[in-house]
């Protein structure tokens, strides 16, 4: 899942969710300035950010995280930094430190 930030708002919509090349949901600015996630299969709006600037920063960070994860050749390569930081046992995704 990636967040496609729009260069300029389309009404209340400031971004869209991209799932495997399909745009599925929208991120909209609510009346109080908060950003909400709205999926067509769910009638509830979900909190996505306190304001548009914070949301954009978080979306950019999420997209970088996704890009970096796709560059890993193996699970071990992807979890190596977590092992080095003591978050998990080196090379063992899901294993406790």
Residue for token pair 């994860």: 69
25: tokens are 């949901």
Write out the two tokens for 85.
Answer: 């930081």
Query: 37 is in which domain, residue-wise?
Result: 2-84
At 71 the pLDDT is 65
Query: Strand, helix or coil at 20?
Result: coil
State pLDDT tens for residues 36-93. Answer: 999 999 989 999 999 999 999 999 998 988 887 666 555 555 566 556 656 556 545 4
96 falls within a domain: no
Parallel, antiparallel or unpaired: strands 2-10 and 13-19:
antiparallel
CB atoms within 10 A of CB 64: 10
pLDDT for 43 equals: 85
**What average pLDDT score do residues 17-26 get?**
94
> Would you say residue 49 lies in a domain?
yes
Q: Is residue 45 part of a domain?
A: yes
Domains identified in the chain, total number: 1
């Amino acid at each position: 899942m990636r967040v496609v930030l729009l260069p300029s708002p389309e009404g209340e919509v400031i971004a869209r969710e991209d799932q495997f090349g399909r745009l599925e949901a929208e991120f909209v600015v609510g009346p109080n300035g908060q950003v909400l996630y709205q999926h067509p299969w769910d009638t509830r709006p979900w909190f996505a950010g306190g304001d548009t600037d914070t949301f954009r920063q978080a979306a950019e960070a999420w997209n970088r995280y996704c890009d970096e994860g796709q560059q890993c050749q193996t699970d071990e390569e992807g979890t190596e930094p977590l092992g080095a930081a003591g978050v998990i046992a080196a090379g063992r995704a899901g294993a406790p430190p």
